[in-house]
Amino acid sequence: MSPTMSQGLLSVEEARDAVLALASAVETERVPVPDSLGRVAAEPATARVSLPPWTNSAMDGYAIVATDTRTATETSPVELRVVGDVAAGATPSGSVTSGNTIRIATGGRLPDGADAVVPAEATTPIDAGGRPGLRGRDATGPVPAAIQVHEAIAVGGSVRAAGSDIEAGATLIESGTGITAAHITLLAGTGIEIVSVHRRPRIAVLATGDEVRGPGQDLGGAGIPDANGPGLRALVTAAGADPINLGIATDDLDDVLTRLRRGLDSDADAVIVSGGVSVGPYDVVKRAIETVGRMDLWRVAVQPGKPFAFGAADRPGGGRPVLLFGLPGNPVSSAVTFELFVRPAIRKLAGRRHLLRPIDRAILAEAVTKSHGRRAFMRVEIERDANGMPVRDQRGRIHARLAGGQGSHVISALAAADALAVVPESDDSLEAGSEVALWWLDRA
């Protein structure tokens, strides 16, 4: 146990630092780029090709020598002879010389000799009999014999130079980057088919409590349905890891130990135990953690979630330690301590560089009170406009109101919450209109 523990409760930061100090990225694997959404890059990826690979047209129009159009105006156009046509995907067969032009589609490779494209909108087609067509409509249909250009076009106009987006060999994503849909566009768009990522961490979840009943089990006179097992496994999935279900243990040391060991044997990277970590007569989880490994910390100055416990066990096959989390059984305490301590650890195991949520600022619509000396994470709903956008005041602050009762058993308020409003240790209460930090939660 850490020396600070005897002096009282650990701060949120002290507890999180201790947790993160033991978490390190899991092994890597290679996956097809289209399957890599949400995975974390394990090494930098570099572009196989430049983009564009060759200089191409940004518009449907005509490839030209720009200086030919120097004197062109709306009423005094310059006429150019059309000597070819380049579709997207076609290799130009001819080249452009002064006085001539080649029709070109958006994305078509710029023919040799051309240094600009005049968009179809700035031209009038002329047929073989010298008759003008519709001014500036489009460049569809048969290739005209000639065009009139109604604007002076600068060198490079409507042209996308080879490599202007990405040079072959450039770094596309750094290791530690969580791969988004845009990254998949980037990787695929530069010719990458396979990417090296970390495997998903495996996180075992064990609910405990003599009163806790599994799905379909009779509640009897004093049972409650298991909220934490399914809830924590869902949080594990949402955090980017694969959950392992260790079921529900009774408040019996041997039952907890048997299931904890099953978790260790299943090659889990971490085991989360909910319940039984407090000071009650049946709270056996701390002893179980000390039996299979060691306890590093217990009790944090946080509300809800004070009895949070953390430790580690040797991995049966050697290597990184298995992280052991003891979360308080009240479902809101479980969810909040998961958010504060387990989720950042899962992200570190997953190889991510960015571990914590972005923090916003909010104004509380109502007065709140909290426990002395602990940092409170209150479940709040935020004001939204008709499209669901958060409403902000002129200083960019969001309006938040309590999502319901703040007891650590109130799962209705947990489910209604958009975010956690953070009230510092130093305040025992806050008035309506106070500014607080806002910790967004995952929410559709």
List interacting residues with Mg ion (CB under 5 A). 209, 275-276, 329
Binding to ligand AMP by CB under 6 A, coded x per residue (else -) over 247-286, reads ---------------------------xxx-x-x------
134 by Cβ neighbours in 10 Å (0-12 / 13-18 / 19+) ranks as exposed
Candidates 373, 231, 235; CA nearest to 300 is 373
- Token reading at 331: 């479902």
CA atoms of 234 and 239, how far apart (whole Å): 9
Give the residue, chosen from 92, 311, 329, 351, that forms a contact with ligand AMP under the rule CB under 6 A: 329
Nearer to ligand AMP, 119 or 275 (CB): 275
Beta-carbon contacts of 109 under 8 Å, excluding residues fewer than 6 positions away, are 54, 55, 56, 86, 90, 91, 92
- Token reading at 159: 């042209």
CA atoms of 52 and 63, how far apart (whole Å): 17
Q: How far is the CB of 229 from Mg ion (least distance, A)?
A: 13
Give the residue, chosen from 69, 158, 228, 406, that forms a contact with ligand AMP under the rule CB under 6 A: 228
Query: Which H or E run contains 33?
Result: none
Q: How far is the CB of 26 from Mg ion (least distance, A)?
A: 31
Residue ranges in 162-181 that form contacts with ligand AMP under rule CB under 6 A? none
- Token reading at 207: 């609910």
Give the residue, chosen from 21, 161, 194, 224, that forms a contact with ligand AMP under the rule CB under 6 A: 224
Q: State whether the Cα torsion 131-136-141-147 is positive or negative.
A: positive
Give the residue, chosen from 176, 209, 344, 390, that forms a contact with ligand AMP under the rule CB under 6 A: 209
Give the residue, chosen from 92, 328, 344, 390, that forms a contact with ligand AMP under the rule CB under 6 A: 328
Nearer to Mg ion, 209 or 229 (CB): 209
Query: Which H or E run contains 195?
Result: strand 194-198
Judged by beta carbon distances under 5 to 8 A according to partner kind, the member of ligand AMP, Mg ion, none in contact with residue 228 is ligand AMP
Candidates 268, 264, 279; CA nearest to 309 is 279
Binding to ligand AMP by CB under 6 A, coded x per residue (else -) over 286-325, reads ----------------------------------------
Q: Report cis status (omega within 30 of 0) of the bond before 34.
A: no
Nearer to ligand AMP, 150 or 306 (CB): 306
Judged by beta carbon distances under 5 to 8 A according to partner kind, the member of Mg ion, ligand AMP, none in contact with residue 69 is none
Judged by beta carbon distances under 5 to 8 A according to partner kind, the member of ligand AMP, Mg ion, none in contact with residue 207 is ligand AMP
- Token reading at 432: 């309506």
Nearer to ligand AMP, 210 or 427 (CB): 210
Judged by beta carbon distances under 5 to 8 A according to partner kind, the member of ligand AMP, Mg ion, none in contact with residue 224 is ligand AMP
Candidates 257, 304, 295; CA nearest to 411 is 304
Helix (H, G, I), strand (E, B) or coil at 400: strand
Give the residue, chosen from 52, 293, 331, 351, that forms a contact with ligand AMP under the rule CB under 6 A: 331
Nearer to ligand AMP, 39 or 374 (CB): 374
Nearer to ligand AMP, 251 or 360 (CB): 251
Nearer to ligand AMP, 155 or 234 (CB): 234
CA atoms of 208 and 204, how far apart (whole Å): 13
The amino acid occupying position 406 is Q
Helix (H, G, I), strand (E, B) or coil at 382: strand
Judged by beta carbon distances under 5 to 8 A according to partner kind, the member of ligand AMP, Mg ion, none in contact with residue 330 is ligand AMP
Q: Residue 69, interface with ligand AMP (CB under 6 A)?
A: no
Give the residue, chosen from 115, 226, 255, 339, that forms a contact with ligand AMP under the rule CB under 6 A: 226
> Burial code of 186-220, b = ≥16 C-beta within 10 A, e = fewer?
bbeebebeebbbbbbbbbbbbbbbbebbeeeeeee
Judged by beta carbon distances under 5 to 8 A according to partner kind, the member of Mg ion, ligand AMP, none in contact with residue 296 is none
Query: Which H or E run contains 194?
Result: strand 194-198
In the complex, which residues of this chain contact ligand AMP (CB under 6 A)? 207, 209, 211-212, 224, 226-229, 274-276, 278, 280, 328-331
